[in-house]
Structure 1
Amino acid sequence: MVKNCICAEENMSELNLDNEMLKKLETYIDNIEEKEGCLINVLHEAQNMFGYLPSDLQLFISRKLDIPAAKVFGVTTFYSFFTMEPRGKHVISVCMGTACFVKGADKIFNEFKKKLNLKDSSTSEDGMFTLDSLRCVGACGLAPVVLVDGKVYGRVKVEDVEQIIMELTEEKVIKVN
């Protein structure tokens, strides 16, 4: 099998991505002993580094792992954890599973949209917030559930939305005695 040759200096300049970060990702991939079956791990690492998985980055990963770009795209779009769009500093995810929906998750989602001035699942213009919905987080006993930057908020009410946003926007002042 002939492997695609990807050399950092030759091919990174043609991508619309940060070359230094691409070199770090390339080093990460090069240090993987068994490349077969490592796609999800590489996508996780790439998303942690870049914040999202744009098509140029997926193509780079495809070439480095010598797998079809369609496979990389397929995995990226199949798993809801991966995103092809930049995300905000704070990611707010409202669970829309049956238990959460029955207990008013749609109203909570709409309140976040209203308070953050968003049209739908999107990122605020200032890049501070991304709002999206999830199918189920598996915490039905805490319904309705909201995840904020990975932190679980259970039994959320519409009235709690403003407080959650305030917690995220407050500047922490450290007093020195």
Structure 2
Amino acid sequence: MSDTPKVLIIATNGFEQAELFDPRQALLDAGADVTLASIGFEPIQGMQHQEKGDTIKPDALLTDVDANDYDALLIPGGVANPDRLRMEPAAIRLVRDFMSAGKPVAAICHGPWLLAEADAIDGRTVTSWPSIRADLSHAGATVIDREVVVDDNLITSRKPDDIPAFNTALLEKLGLLEDA
């Protein structure tokens, strides 16, 4: 990993605002180089639970980014975001490429849906928002209810309240935090 870790965030409309903005800011504050990739270049709509939140303009297209150029992948939740991304071949490819390379992959809330779609969690231990836990289990994962679960390179969390622990686990994995 380089001195300045490069982190790719993939998201589209319907991401849970805190699950993209808060980890992104923690990464930037810790000195990481962060790129947001999406389906298009138009601003994407965040959600604060059921209400519309802020938008953010992507830096790149999913189809134009390569896992080889990054040190970690971040997948925010929100119901619509991972549900839409799991129908995008480029998003599936990215998840598979990061996982096969053993690079850190961090997914929160509904984000692990994309991991299941990419056949990336068979035999792994994860957590998530309660409504998708059966899907993850059917994809071969052991699902536990904990604020953050780290299984080798895979980091998962359940909900916005877990963001502090989620951020800490990702920053530690990237070597951006001293041992706590």
**TM-score band (shorter)?**
under 0.3
Which TM-score applies when normalising by structure 1? 0.28
Which TM-score applies when normalising by structure 2? 0.27
Q: Which has the larger radius of gyration?
A: 1
Q: Which has the higher helix share?
A: 1
Q: Which has the higher strand share?
A: 2
